[in-house]
Amino acid sequence: MTGGGAWSRVAPEGRRFLRGHRRALGRLAGWSLLESAHTFLGGYAVARALDDGFLAGHTAAGLGWLAAAGAGALLGGFALRGVFAGLADLVEPLRDGLVRRAVRQALDRAVADPAGAGDTGAVSRLTQQTEMARDSFAGLVLTVRSFVFTAVGAFVGMAALAPVLLLVVLPPLLLGAAAFLATLRPLAAVQRRSLDTDEALADRVGTL
């Protein structure tokens, strides 16, 4: 199957899966937004501690802003715990669905063709491939989530402190994001070929 054909088949199913787990997505987004507040406070509070505190001769104000930065770090740790809990609520149903599909397809093939019921490729789909899909999906969600919400916190802080720097930071950042998105399909195609090879190897070993 070509990359475009695979994408046209998988994309609607992916959208349907995400629509069916809006609550988990909402929780993950909420925790991620809270984590971005840590990014904002980490930069903004330290800058204020220097500009309005220590450099201006107001030690108490500087210490207060540093305390706010410390509170932001605690907030970030609390939010990170919630992020991984929300990630599990999104990733584990995907794995369970893939396992059910692999079992159903293997049973359908066994019923349709009893003589060829020894589908050893189903073992690969049921074990290694489902775990690989689960791990890849989790990694992609974490990467995109971290990039988006960390960037939001950093941009808000930068806009509050030195808006002109956005003109310097945004173009290369957007270019990097575009390059990352451009690599997703080739990487998916390579992984798909790897899975096909693994399944073919399992079939070959099963016939020996």
pLDDT digits (tens, 9 = 90+) for 84-99: 989 999 999 998 988 8
Q: What's the mean pLDDT in 18-27?
A: 90
Give me 183's structure tokens. 């690599």
Q: d(Cα 194, Cα 128) in Å, to the nearest integer?
A: 12
Do 129 and 198 form a contact (C-beta atoms < 8 A)?
yes
Q: How confident is the model at residue 196 (pLDDT cuts 50, 70, 90)?
A: confident
Encoded tokens for 178:
């575009």
Residue 201 has pLDDT above 90, yes or no: no
- Collect all residues with Cβ–Cβ distance below 8 Å to 86 and sequence separation of at least 6: 24, 27, 28, 30, 31
Percent pLDDT > 90 in the chain is 19
The whole-number pLDDT of residue 122 equals: 67
d(CA 168, CA 70): 29
- Of the candidates 103, 123, 124, the residue with the CA atom closest to the CA atom of residue 197: 124
* Model confidence band, residue 206 (pLDDT cutoffs 50, 70, 90): low
User: 47 or 118: which carries more pLDDT confidence?
Assistant: 47
| Listed range (70-84, 112-126, 135-149, 184-198) with the worst mean pLDDT | 112-126
- Point out the least confidently predicted range of 101-115, 119-133, 167-181: 119-133
Q: What is the CA angle 125-15-24, rounded to 5?
A: 90
AA letter at 101:
R
Q: Which residue has the higher pLDDT, 64 or 75?
A: 64
Tokens representing 43 are: 């930069």
DSSP 58: -
Quickly state the pLDDT bin for 185 (edges 50, 70, 90).
Answer: confident
* Torsion angle defined by CA atoms of residues 82, 69, 145 and 179, in that order, rounded to the nearest 10 degrees: -160
Q: What is the pLDDT of residue 161?
A: 85
Q: How far apart are the first and last CA of the chain?
A: 27
pLDDT for 133? 83
Mean pLDDT over each residue of the chain, to the nearest integer: 83
Could you tell me where the DSSP H helices lie in 21-129?
A: 22-48, 59-112, 121-124
Q: Is the pLDDT of residue 181 over 70?
A: yes
Model pLDDT, residue 92: 92
- What is the Cα gyration radius of the chain? 24
| 116: helix, strand or coil | helix
